[in-house]
A and B are shown apart, each in its own frame.
Chain A
Amino acid sequence: GAVVSQHPSWVICKSGTSVKIECRSLDFQATTMFWYRQFPKQSLMLMATSNEGSKATYEQGVEKDKFLINHASLTLSTLTVTSAHPEDSSFYICSAVRDRGNEQYFGPGTRLTVT
């Protein structure tokens, strides 16, 4: 099966600092990667769609200057939360698609706590 990793799995940072989360497809090249945010006991909320070599497409209401996405290769996408604040604390999940129309393969998620 297809494997997607995320690093780190858990991070604590101070308010005002930036934190980078990596998402890698380990055994396939991903045509598209996605970044989600999940609040406790809620469904996943899509933040942005990322294609290799092009700018990410952000969902309405997501601040592109706060949540910087870089898709440097077909196997790596990064999400940087800039000038983090406590309200950015959440569970962030990435996913990758191998072929259009196929299922998304999800990473294990990253728990971000901003103090």
Chain B
Amino acid sequence: AQTVTQSQPEMSVQEAETVTLSCTYDTSESDYYLFWYKQPPSRQMILVIRQEAYKQQNATENRFSVNFQKAAKSFSLKISDSQLGDAAMYFCDLLEGGSEKLVFGKGTKLTVNP
């Protein structure tokens, strides 16, 4: 069965510093997608970044980048130059190619200290 594991329930970072959130997953499919969503205190889920499994290049969106290690089934999120607005719950999610359903990790609560 597909699973997503986020081993860090909480993380904190100083403003302007860099932080990495960990995520490992398990799937038997070769076609899948990985996502990081953030949920700020407003509780609106927002897509941060997306990675297709067939792409070797790590996805990047401005200050957000991933380290996608396919063989290790690892998908970590790096946030550079952290800002106060980055404080949120971050969810790592897996979507298998033949499925419509997202598999959610339990989330990591990120605190950004001024």
A residues at B contact (CB < 8 Å): 32, 34, 38, 42-44, 46, 49, 91, 93, 95, 97, 100-101, 103-106, 108-109
Contacts and interface: CB of A to CB of B under 8 A. Distances in A.
B106 A43 contact: yes
A95 B44 CA distance: 11
A44 B35 CA distance: 14
A32 B101 CA distance: 10
B84 interface: no
A101 B97 contact: yes
A93 B45 contact: yes
Interface of B: 33, 35, 37, 42-47, 50, 91, 95, 97, 100-102, 104-107
Given A49-B100, A49-B101, A44 B42 contact: no
A109 B44 contact: yes
Given A34-B101, A43-B91, A49-B101, A103 B44 contact: no
Given A43-B91, A101-B33, A103-B35, A108 B44 contact: yes
Contacts of B102: 34, 46, 104
A46 B102 CA distance: 9
A108 B43 contact: yes
A49 B102 CA distance: 11
A101 B98 CA distance: 8
Nearest to A95: B45
A109 B43 contact: yes
A93 B89 CA distance: 15
A79 to B, nearest CB: 17
B35 A43 contact: no
Contact of B42 (A32, A49, A108): A108
Contacts of A49: 100-101
Contact of A106 (B45, B100, B105, B107): B45
